[in-house]
Amino acid sequence: MIRVLLSDGLDKSAIEKLKSLNFEVVDEHYEGEELGEKLKEFDALVVRSATKVRVPSIEKAAEGKRLKLIIRGGVGVDNIDVAAAREKSIEVRNTPNASSISVAELTLAHMFAVTRFVNISNVTMRQGLWEKKKYKGTELYGKTLGLMGFGRIAKEVAVRARALGMQVLYTNRKGKIEGFDQYKYCTFDELLKCSDIISLHVPYDKTKGTLIGKEQFEMMKDGVYLINCSRGKVVSEEALLEALNNGKVAGAGIDVFEEEPTKNKELINHPRVSVTPHIGASTSEAQKRIGLEVVNILEEYFIKK
């Protein structure tokens, strides 16, 4: 029987489907050395963002010569040492389609929160304050949104932003993408200089490091808004705080952090920052789609292969 370890859980309907296909499913969280030792007993591992599958775990798992597949339920795979896994003939897959709409909607939610002071007014009203005159917001209508990266999620954001009357720019490492002439392609530097709101939709590349730091903030418009629902390390939190405090950045919406759970109290308590604990894909609809995609991958790999 094919044994599957769900280290970060999975939607109930997906678990039931796997069992109906005669997979043995173990829903238990392990980390580090213990994870590697346990993986000797499994054919496949399914993780979300909580479990880090690093070289020591992979090497330990490979000693058992059983693990064949690691699936990341989500878009990125930066919590998995992909090269090390593939070197041990362990395939790595993800579910890139399932959470696009959910992350796109959260991106818009953060835009509304920081431009209309939804984040901080929600706090101050609970403190008994009525600071109506203090919260003079900004409309999204007519503003220029710069999308850094133009994959599935960014495309979903673009559709919704255009419906709100925004002008949409995008930059992409592969260059201009055919079939999307309703949005303007520009260079990385042009996007930084021209956007009223910048939203990041790029993976973190540890070989290149931080994408947005002090130099990039200095290139942006005064009073720009920054939204990051991609990966925490893409943006320097130190540089972001400096830009918030000197007024360069009018507000920021942050779902992802350099360290998770974050310990950056200054950032999460900043009055012009809207924060969420990495919940981009945390909708019931996305979880069901992720579960279905995981089931399809496992079925394709072990049954239909």
Catalytic (active-site) positions:
231, 260, 278
252 close to 114: Cβ distance less than 8 angstroms: yes
Q: How far apart are CA 16 and CA 8, in angstroms?
A: 16
Contacts of residue 169, Cβ cutoff 8 Å, sequence gap at least 6: 144, 145, 146, 147, 183, 184, 185, 186, 190, 191, 194, 195
Q: What is the DSSP letter of 235?
A: B
Query: What CA–CA distances, in Å, run from 91 to 22, 45, 187, 298?
Result: 21, 10, 34, 11
Nearest to 76 by CA among 95, 98, 54: 95
Amino acid at 263: K
Q: From CA 13, how far away is CA 92, in angstroms rounded? A: 23
